[in-house]
């Protein structure tokens, strides 16, 4: 394993220290327990948006804390759920009278720990569960996983909360965005979790892992390495069959790198995916291309599509000022 670290034990703390220092105009880092929160106070009665999950997916979620997006993020150890005390402390810190909305990716550990935190919280609260990964069937035992669509939900909810939507409205909106968002990814290599010191899964030189999860979970099927057009068609078809966008439908197209895939290849995937939907008369009106929901050093990428309408477009376009997503302010 070749990593730029001092020790497996100190990696997260040292990294969060650096993150908070590099962005000390936007965030604060609370050390005991760990959470990152907005430096700028929220408006009174704004719904406080809190997300979290295992580390190793950066910039998700810490890099998305700031005006117009999250109020706080709770990072667990790498690929390990944060604990209820982190969520409760973050909630107490950022709640300003409008209640707390947890945005939770659908993984057993995350779901359980956010539930425990919810049960112990006194303030008004709700949870939006993200399950945008269409690589698993809808009736999969633990449900579908939450992947790169999480960022889309967080951005849109961030704008709504900033504009004064109340907790019930945010909960309804978050569930709605999750329903009109679908993702699927492919891995060319495994990632290597520092604490394990070896790749999470074996993959042949001529193999790709179709439908991989953001922790390197095995996906739908290993496939023979093929060209980008075929890979993109495979991913896009699964998403298209789920969302069934009609001709004339406006969509947001997000190409997300898992960490080690060059931007050149991500933009090539964007070109192929946008052509795929263009041929169906679907209008790609907004785009996001880059490494946002990563899986440490995994090579590969995912495609996310969200069906947009005027309300969602306005919320997507609203100003956002975080470490890793920033426009309009």
Please report, as ranges, the residues that interact with a second copy according to CB under 8 A.
2-7, 11-12, 14-19, 21-23, 55-56, 58-59, 63, 78, 188-189, 205, 208, 225, 227-229, 231, 259-265, 267-272, 274, 284, 287, 289-291, 294, 296-297, 299-301, 324, 326-327
Cβ proximity to a second copy, 88 vs 251, nearer residue: 251
Residue 145: CA count within 13 A, CB half-sphere: 20
Cβ proximity to a second copy, 16 vs 177, nearer residue: 16
Cβ proximity to a second copy, 52 vs 63, nearer residue: 63
CB of 142 to a second copy, least distance (A): 26
Q: Within 10 A of 63 (CB to CB), how many other CB atoms are there? A: 23
CA–CA dist 263, 129 (Å, integer)? 30
Would you call 57 a catalytic residue per the annotation?
yes
Cβ proximity to a second copy, 12 vs 157, nearer residue: 12
CB of 267 to a second copy, least distance (A): 4
CB of 216 to a second copy, least distance (A): 13
Distance of CA 298 to the CA centre of its chain: 16
| Contact between 234 and 225 (Cβ < 8 Å) | no
CB of 128 to a second copy, least distance (A): 25
CB of 65 to a second copy, least distance (A): 14
Cα–Cα nearest to 204, from 221, 224, 184, 219: 224
| Contact between 116 and 125 (Cβ < 8 Å) | no
Cβ proximity to a second copy, 16 vs 308, nearer residue: 16
Which of 23, 34, 37, 57 is flagged as catalytic?
A: 57
CA–CA dist 283, 115 (Å, integer)? 38
CB of 104 to a second copy, least distance (A): 21
Instruction: Enumerate the active-site residues.
Output: 57, 215
């Amino acid at each position: 394993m070749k990593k730029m670290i001092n020790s497996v034990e100190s990696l997260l703390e040292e990294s969060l220290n650096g993150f908070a220092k590099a962005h000390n105009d936007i965030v604060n880092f609370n050390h005991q327990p760990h959470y990152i929160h907005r430096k700028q106070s929220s408006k009174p009665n704004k719904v406080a948006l809190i997300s979290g999950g295992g580390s190793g997916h950066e910039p998700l979620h810490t890099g998305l804390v700031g005006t117009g997006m999250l109020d706080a993020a709770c990072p667990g150890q790498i690929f390990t759920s944060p604990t209820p005390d982190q969520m409760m402390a973050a909630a107490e810190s950022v709640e300003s009278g409008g209640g707390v909305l947890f945005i939770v990716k659908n993984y057993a550990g995350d779901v359980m720990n956010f539930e425990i935190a919810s049960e112990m919280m006194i303030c008004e609260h709700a949870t939006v569960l993200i399950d945008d990964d269409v690589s698993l069937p809808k009736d999969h035992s633990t449900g579908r996983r939450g992947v790169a669509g999480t960022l889309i939900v967080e951005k849109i909810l961030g704008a709504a909360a900033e504009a004064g939507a109340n907790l019930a409205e945010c909960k309804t909106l978050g569930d709605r965005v999750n329903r009109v968002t679908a993702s699927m990814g492919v891995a060319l290599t495994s990632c290597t979790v520092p604490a394990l010191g070896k790749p999470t899964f074996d993959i042949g030189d001529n193999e790709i892992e179709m439908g991989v999860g953001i922790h390197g979970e095995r996906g739908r099927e290993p496939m023979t390495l093929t060209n980008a057009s075929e890979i993109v068609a495979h991913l896009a078809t699964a998403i298209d069959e789920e969302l069934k966008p009609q001709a004339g439908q406006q969509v947001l197209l997000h190409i997300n790198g898992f960490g080690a895939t060059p931007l050149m290849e991500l933009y090539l995937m964007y070109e192929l995916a946008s052509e795929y939907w263009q041929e169906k008369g679907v209008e790609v009106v907004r785009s996001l291309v880059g490494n946002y929901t990563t899986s440490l050093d995994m090579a590969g990428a995912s495609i996310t599509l969200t069906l947009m309408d005027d309300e969602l477009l306005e919320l997507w376009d609203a100003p956002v000022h975080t470490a890793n997503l920033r426009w309009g302010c």
